[in-house]
Structures are given as C-alpha cells and as structure tokens.
Structure 1
Amino acid sequence: MKKIILPVLIVFFSMCALAQKDNKVTIGTIDSIQSKILNEQRKIWVYVPDSWTAGSKQRYPVLYLLDGNSHFSSSVGVIKHLSEVNGNTICPEMIVVGIPNTDRIRDLTPTHVNPTPPFTDSLMLKTTGGGERFVSFIEKELMPRIDSLYPTQPYKILTGHSFGGLTVMNVALNHTKLFNAYICIDPSMWWDQMNLLNKTEKSLREKNFSGTTLYLGIANTLREGMDIIKVRSDTSKGTRHIRSILNLDQFIKEQKQNGLRYESKYYSNDDHGSVPLITEYDALRFIFSNYHFKLSPTDITDPTVDLVNKFEKHYQEVSKMLGYKLSPPEDMVNNLGCDVLERKQYAKAAGLLKINVENYPQSYNVYDSYGDYFLAIGDKSKAIEYFKKALSIKENPVSRKKLNQL
C-alpha cells in the first residue's frame, strides 16, 4: 500500500526524477523527421511525462508548440507544475512536442508579401507565405509520427506566440478540427495588411466551432499615454499590432452563436516578450477548468459520502470533454482508499480500492492495497489471493512480507 507523500517531499522527489546520468538534468529528447512536404530534415523536441514507463498503457494529450526552441522548457515546466508538482491535478499530464524553426518567417506566415516599410530587405521576405505547407507538414507528417512513436491520446492543443500566434489563428479558422484547443499569444494579426484578420469576421460568423476552445493572450504594447480604449481610434503604424489583436478579440466576442468556447485576457503588466509564460498558465487553467477533481474534508471524514459515485460522475464529464475515456488517477484513488481504510470506513475503502483494480489491472500496487482491505476486515484467504496477484505482476518486498506473515 503506497501512502500520500507530503507536498515538500513531492517537490523533492519530482526534482530527483528529472536527474539523469552524468549529473545532467534533462526534460525531453530530440527527435527528427524527414519532411517531404517541406523538403528538409526537421528536429522535434519531445517531452513525455515522468509517470510513463516502458510497457505502460498510460497515454497522454499532446501540446504542439510553435517556436519550440524558445518556449519548450517553460511550457514543460508550466504543465508539470499544473499536472503533478505538489500533487496538483489542475490539468492532465501531457506530451509536449516543440517544433524548432528553420525558416520561421516562411513557416509562420499564411500569405506572401512584398517588401514595404518597415521591411526594406526583399531577401528577408522572399520565402514568406509558406504557412499552409507548414500546416500540411504538421497534419500529414508530424502528427502521424508522434502518434506512432509516443503514448498519445487524441486530444491536441496548438500553442503559438507572435508569428506563431498568427499561425494558431490561421489553423483555428481554416483547419479548425485539426486541434481541440488553441492558445494564441499576442498574435501578429497585422501581417499582410491584416489579411487574415479581415477574413476572420466572416469565418467566425459562418463556421461552426462547437467542440473547439480558444484562449487569446494580449500583451501591453501600448505607447506612453495610450490605453486600450484610446488606441482603438489611433491610425498610426506603431499601434497596429495591438489594434489588430483588440479587433480580433472583439470579432470573436461578437459571434457567440458559433459554439466556440473562448476567453481572452489583456496583460497590462506584460509586454510582447514576457507574455507567453503567464498566458500559457492561464490558458491551460481555462481549457481544463472542469478537469480538477475537488474533494472537501467531509468527503473523507463522512462515511455516508459515496466517493466512488462522485469519482465516476466527474470523470464521465471529463471524458466527454476530452473525447476519450479517462479513469480516475490510480495514485489519487489508492491514497484515498488507504486513508478511509485507516479510518475504518470499510465500505468506502472497498469501493475505492475495487474500482482501482478494475481500472488498473496491470498495477501490482492496486492488488496490494486491495489485499490490505481484506486483511483489515479479517478475510485472510482473500488477502492472500490479492497479495499473490500483486507479486505475480511484480516481485516486491512489501507484498512478500505481508504474504509471509499470513
């Protein structure tokens, strides 16, 4: 029977879990893919949660990250914090796929432009407008590879900042069902005389976005003396970045009939460079606002509370949101089962430990804990049966000691 680890120890052991040989700390691996669509070799940075082990049936949603070389470590850190550190279950553990750049302005711009001020270097803009090919690479080459090599679930998120945010909006509007959720961070909607922005209102009015979630983070890029009210009527080129984003926000909010689940926030204390981290944190909390399983102290202390029913109802709703069946986390259920068992709430303990055996039949620990329940109620034959089952899955000193004492 595994017990709850105190929060301080959780942090310590989580840090230790990242340590690799040669005294180095790593948070992912570098993969690569030869793209026929882009006609180049692309490196991919991949993080798989620490809870995954070879042979495990555990699978995870996937967050695809544009400008991966810039935001990979911070994105992994935010997800780890919200999904596991200190016992958090604000969002699910996720695989993170960072896509480093080769030709950023080519891949992250949906249309080609010719040089106009402030862009005076025609070489800089020569390859612009490759956004659709880049999206095709993600859909037809990258996603199939990730799904074939890593333990993925079908729920996918696309995250992008600046030109990456422009790409996120292009995909959300024109390839909507490619991802379930989108995190759009201070997007460059001014690109090509606001070409994409000008098409946005029509798309938002005519398309059905049911089942799609979008979070928009807006940085404070205002000039001194401006505010988000005054800037809307300004016409100078210096404010077109934030004006275009504020217009985007307004367009989206005006089209509430299209089924899009949407939230936005203006970050007055963050500029274009600092806004990605806080936006991603808030976006994940919004996307997974109904994911966290909440327990009150009376849920544990009151023997009349049906925790099994509460778990089942909650995770049925979460499964509906994610589009695949999600069982209550093994460790959470096990810890609660052990807790109520110590309180001699045998019926509640039996229900919790039994559903854990049903949901995680390949885990030795669920059988060991269920054996503890039978031992507590005086059913030695059943306790022996479950300790033996635990040992058949994995030889471990805890189950072996219990079995030898019976």
Structure 2
Amino acid sequence: MKKLQLIILLSVYCLYGHAQTNSAVSIGTTDSIFSTILNEQRPLLVYVPNSNEGSIFSKKVYPVVYLLDGDANFLSVVATLEHLSANQMCPQMIVVGIPNTNRNRDLTPSKGELEPPFRDSTFVANTGGGEKFLSFIEQELIPKIDSKYPTEPYRMFIGHSFGGLEVMHAFTHKPHLFSSYLAIDPSMSWSNQLLLNKIKSMPFTDNYSNKALYLGIANTIPEELDITTVLKDTSMETEHIRSILELNTYLNTQTQLKYKGNFYPEESHGSLPFIAHYDAFRFIFDFYQLKFEMQDFMNPETDIVNKVINHYKKLSTVFGLQMKPDEQFVNGLGYQFLQMGQFKVSEQFFKLNVTNFPESFNAYDSIGDYYVAKGDKANAIESFKKALALNKNATYSKDKLEALLGD
C-alpha cells in the first residue's frame, strides 16, 4: 500500500515537471533598457520558465521577481525557484536580475553620513539616488517587462545589504508596486537610521493587508556579545545588527502584515542570501502547495475535483487575479483517474479543462480519449473534430478520428 501511495503521489507531482526541450542548457537571457530617468543603458538578466516552449497547452503567464544585485544573485535565485516550483511549493516565476552600474548611488534612498575612514566625502557624494532608481523600476523597467514577457500582476522585490535597504524603501514609500518583499540583512543604520525611524513612525494600514515581507538577519554580532546583550551596546561596530533587530521587533507588532524575521546564527552578511532566498520563498508561498491525501485517489466518491477548484480560488484571492486550475495539471489528473478506472472523476477533470480552456485543442483531444475509453463513439468523434477545428495540425487527433470513422 505504501508503495502504491508513493507511485500515485510521484505521478501527480511529475505533472508539474518542466524540462529543457533542446540540447542547450539555458538559464536565462541578457536584455537591456535605456533609462531616460537615469540617463544610461541598463543591462538585465532575464529568466522565463520554459513551460510554454513547445507546449500543447494554453500559454501561461507568470509572477515576476525583481532582483537587485542581479549579477551576484541571479543564478541562485533561478535555481531555487526551479526546484521549489517543480515540487509545487511556489509558482513558476520570471526573474529579472538588475546588475549594478552604480550601486552606492542607486541603492541608497538618502545621502549618507561622513564616517571616516569608512565613508569619505567622495563616497557620500555618490549616494542618495534610491528614489530615482525606484522611479526607473516603476516607470520604465516594469512596463518594458510587462510588454515583452508573459507576466501577471504579482511582483516580488528582493535585495541584500544596500539592496535590502532599497527594498525597505520601496516597501515604505510605494507599497502598491510589489506584492511581496525580501530584505536580506538590510543596511537599516544608513543615514542615522533615517528609514528605520520612518518605518517605526508609520501605521501599517489596509495598503499592507495583502503584502508579505521576509527579513533575513545575518550574525554580525561580535564574539563577546550575543543577540540579547548586543542590544545594549552603543558602538559603531554593532550599529548594523542593532538597527535590523530594532526593525524586526517593530514589524513583529504589525498584525496587518504577513511578516517573518529570521536570525541566522551561522550565517555571515555575505553568506546569508542563498539560504534566505529559499526560506523566504517557502514562507511567502506557504499557501501555494496543493496537498493530496491517499483517499483523494483511492475513494471512488472522492471530491478531489472541488479540492483543486477551491485551492485555485484561494490562490486567486492571494494573487489578486483569477487563476484557473492549471491546464496541464488537470489534464494529467484526468488521465491518472482514467488509468485507475475512476471514470466519473476523470470525466470531471477533462470537462473542467474544456470549460476553462475552450480554445485549447488538447482539452478536446483529451476528453476524446476519455470517451473512447468509455466506448462513447459519438462523443469521441465530436471531441476529436473540435480539436482539429482548433488546430488542424493536431495529427494525433486526426489519426484517432480517422480510426473511429473507419470502424
């Protein structure tokens, strides 16, 4: 019985699998945009899930991750998303990596303070462009990505260090711009804690009711202190960690917001991003995975169809748009139950796809297979004819139709 359960569950999760369809191993493409706001050419790294490539199913659209320090973090974020989405723990997502041209300028929302010998006047003069950079993202970059790639409205913003500071700036000043935020060890001590104090003074209203924020905190505490005693320290050495812990304490009081702060005692400022990406995706999309029980498959009177429908209704609420049950996933479930001889459930899944994707030739081809299995020749013929009407190049539908007409 355990072996049968494993086989069934593995077959279900394989319905979400997505693999390269050609011999090249590709993880993304390079793109660019000229910004009139910044007056410069900006390189981009773009990853688009390949589930649309050569697919017989309806074309998909995807949420988008906007990733700061794209040149440093692009590969790890894409790999993490590929792994989690293949296991149905988060959606497939487009990743837009934004490499730096002038990091100190773009990722600091205010001018810094002189802190010799670490920050001299030349360094400080090249800071404070974060608001302008955010305008570039809102007014130029997002419209370009939406016009060129198969996007949906849900957007996530990820940044580390100065990038985390810019993420918190966007979270505070433009909450409409992104649905979820990941700030990794953000530089909240910047400019005498200017942004931190702003956050602590603001109420989190209904603008944040459907937002999610994950705060990753590295262990930058000196060896002679711990996470409790460091809060009483007043040295410049601990200002960074104290500011982040102060932010975490305040955000934990904001019940309107989906929030989690996580301290990583074994991770440094530099090592934290990789593991924080994974943990943040798991937290932000903790609602995403559709969990099946053995009885969903083995009980002939199972209500698994409504379980799938209701799950996607929940996703629609969170993502803020109508999300239909994934055509490929539903199609696979239809064949799964057909092979198990549960014709009633199989029919419900195939009809669900016909209803949700009336322009999909494959939806009609699949329900045609169901009618063939049931011995319903008339409906099988009608279904294969509809498939061919939608796609005259569907040779396998044509072959099946000719076989039925020749009987």
Extract structure 1 runs of 4+ deviating beyond 6 A: 4-7
Q: Deviations over 1:284-326 (max 9, x none)?
A: 1111111111111110111111222111111111101100111
**Paired amino acid for 1:328:** P
Q: Gapped runs of 5+ residues in structure 2?
A: 1-7
Q: Gapped runs of 5+ residues in structure 1?
A: none
Contact 1:107 1:129 in 2 (8 A): yes
Contact 2:20 2:50 in 1 (8 A): no
- Structure 1 position 395 matched with structure 2 position 393: yes
Counterpart-to-counterpart distance in 1, 2:189 and 2:91 = 34
- Comparing 27-36 and 111-120, the one that deviates more: 111-120
Partner of 2:271: 274
Q: CA deviation at 1:208?
A: 4.6
Partner of 2:66: 64
Partner of 2:40: 40
Q: CA deviation at 1:119?
A: 2.3
Counterpart-to-counterpart distance in 2, 1:273 and 1:279 = 11
Contact 2:89 2:288 in 1 (8 A): yes
Q: Deviations over 1:357-390 (max 9, x none)?
A: 2223343332222111111221111112222333
* Counterpart among 289, 293, 304 of residue 307 in structure 1: 304
Partner of 1:333: 330
Partner of 1:77: 79
Q: Deviations over 1:326-345 (max 9, x none)?
A: 11122221121111112221
Contact 1:221 1:271 in 2 (8 A): yes
Partner of 1:321: 318
- Structure 1 position 143 matched with structure 2 position 142: yes
> Over aligned residues, Cα RMSD in angstroms?
2.4
Partner of 2:116: 117
Give the TM-score normalised by the residue count of structure 2.
0.90
| Gap change, CA 1:175 and 1:15, over 3 Å in 2 | same
Counterpart-to-counterpart distance in 2, 1:122 and 1:176 = 33
Q: CA deviation at 1:73?
A: 0.9
| Gap change, CA 1:371 and 1:189, over 3 Å in 2 | same
Counterpart-to-counterpart distance in 2, 1:222 and 1:96 = 33
Give the TM-score normalised by the residue count of structure 1.
0.91
Counterpart-to-counterpart distance in 1, 2:265 and 2:203 = 27
- Helix, strand or coil at the partner of 1:51: helix
Counterpart-to-counterpart distance in 1, 2:325 and 2:68 = 31
- Structure 1 position 103 matched with structure 2 position 102: yes
**Paired amino acid for 2:158:** T
Q: Deviations over 1:229-270 (max 9, x none)?
A: 1111111111111111100000111233xx111111111121
Counterpart-to-counterpart distance in 2, 1:205 and 1:299 = 41
Counterpart-to-counterpart distance in 1, 2:47 and 2:361 = 26
Q: Deviations over 1:175-204 (max 9, x none)?
A: 111111101111011111211112211124
Aligned ranges for residues 200-239 of structure 1 at < 5 Å? 200-204=199-203, 208-239=207-238
Counterpart-to-counterpart distance in 1, 2:79 and 2:73 = 10
Q: How many residues align?
A: 393
- Structure 1 position 49 matched with structure 2 position 46: no
Contact 1:34 1:40 in 2 (8 A): yes
Q: Deviations over 1:126-148 (max 9, x none)?
A: 22000000011111111111111
- Helix, strand or coil at the partner of 1:218: strand
* Counterpart among 358, 363, 367 of residue 361 in structure 1: 358
Partner of 1:192: 191
- Helix, strand or coil at the partner of 1:217: strand
- Helix, strand or coil at the partner of 2:350: helix
- Comparing 35-44 and 387-396, the one that deviates more: 387-396
Counterpart-to-counterpart distance in 2, 1:118 and 1:389 = 74
Partner of 1:247: 246
Counterpart-to-counterpart distance in 2, 1:285 and 1:379 = 45
Contact 1:18 1:26 in 2 (8 A): no
Counterpart-to-counterpart distance in 2, 1:237 and 1:169 = 22
**Paired amino acid for 1:346:** F
Counterpart-to-counterpart distance in 1, 2:23 and 2:96 = 21
Counterpart-to-counterpart distance in 2, 1:205 and 1:97 = 28
Partner of 1:26: 26
Aligned ranges for residues 151-170 of structure 1 at < 5 Å? 151-170=150-169
**Paired amino acid for 1:110:** P
